[in-house]
Amino acid sequence: MLDNDTRQRIISLIRQEVVPAIGCTEPMAVALCTARAAEMLGRRPEQIQVSLSANVLKNAMGVGIPGTGMVGLPIAVALGALVGKSAYQLEVLKDLTPAALKEGKRFVGEKRVRICLKGNISEKLYIEATCTSGQDSATAVIAGSHTRFVGAAGDNDAGCAPGRAADGAVAQAEACGHPVSLNLRTVYDFATESPLDEIRFILESRRYNMRAAQEAIKGNYGHNLGKTIDRPLAKGIFGNSIFSHIIAKTAAACDARMGGAMIPVMSNSGSGNQGICATNPVAVYAQENENTEEELIRALALSHLTAIYIKQSLGKLSALCGCVVASIGSSCGITYLMGGDYERVCRSVKNMIANLTGMICDGAKPSCSLKIASGVSTAILSSLLSMEGKCVTSAEGIIDDDVDRCIRNLTSIGADAMQATDSMVLDIMTCKA
pLDDT of residue 153: 63
Contact 132, 45 (CB under 8 A): yes
Instruction: Tell me how far apart the alpha carbons of residues 354 and 350 are, in angstroms, rounded to a whole number.
Output: 6
Ramachandran assignment for 241, one of left (phi > 0), alpha (psi -120 to 50 degrees), beta (any other): beta
Q: Report DSSP letters for 301-354, one per residue.
A: HHHHHHHHHHHHHH-SS-SB-HHHHHHHHHHHHHHHHTT--HHHHHHHHHHHHH
Residue 102 has a CB neighbour count (10 Å cut-off) of: 10
Residue type, 13: L
Residue type, 240: N
The pLDDT, as a whole number, for residue 176 is: 39
Q: Strand ranges (DSSP E) for 159-289?
A: 264-266
> What phi, psi does 369 have (nearest 5°)?
-65, -30
378: closest CA among 224, 246, 197? 246
For strands 113-117 and 70-71, give the pairing.
unpaired
Task: Give the chain's length.
Answer: 433
Beta bridge partners of 133: 136
**Residue 85 carries which DSSP code?**
-
**Sequence-ordered list of residues with C-beta below 8 angstroms from that of 246, at least 6 positions apart, any chain:** 280, 281, 284, 285, 376, 380
Q: Give the DSSP letter string of 366-429.
A: TTHHHHHHHHHHHHHHHHHHHHTT----TTSTT--SSHHHHHHHHHHIIIIITHHHHHHHHHHH
Q: Which of 167, 140, 138, 143 lies closest to 152, judged by CA?
A: 140
How many CB atoms sit inside 10 A of residue 397's CB? 13
CA 367 to chain centre: 15
Instruction: Please report the pLDDT score of residue 169 as a whole number.
Output: 36
Q: Show pLDDT as tens, one digit a residue, over the chain (433 residues).
A: 899 999 999 999 999 999 999 888 899 999 999 999 999 999 999 999 999 998 899 888 878 898 898 988 999 999 999 999 999 999 999 999 999 999 999 999 999 999 999 988 889 899 999 999 999 999 999 999 999 999 766 554 433 334 433 333 333 333 334 568 899 999 999 999 999 999 999 999 999 999 999 999 888 998 999 999 989 999 899 899 999 999 999 999 999 988 888 889 999 998 999 999 999 999 999 999 999 999 999 999 999 999 999 999 998 888 899 999 999 999 999 999 999 999 999 999 999 999 999 899 998 888 999 999 999 999 999 999 999 999 999 999 999 999 999 999 999 999 899 989 988 988 898 887 4
Which residues, 6+ apart, have CB-to-CB distance to 156 below 8 Å?
Answer: none
How crowded is the C-beta side of 317, counted as CA atoms within 13 Å? 27
d(CA 72, CA 63): 6
Question: For the stretch 130-163, what's the b/e string if a residue is b when 16 or more beta carbons lie within 10 angstroms of its beta carbon?
Answer: bbbeeebbbbbbbbbbbbbbbbbbbeeeebeebb
CB 391 within 8 A of CB 385: yes
Nearest to 190 by CA among 405, 4, 379, 404: 4
pTM of the model: 0.88
Q: Name the amino acid, one letter, at 291.
A: N
Q: How many CB atoms lie within 10 A of CB 100?
A: 18
Give the largest CA-CA distance in the chain. 69
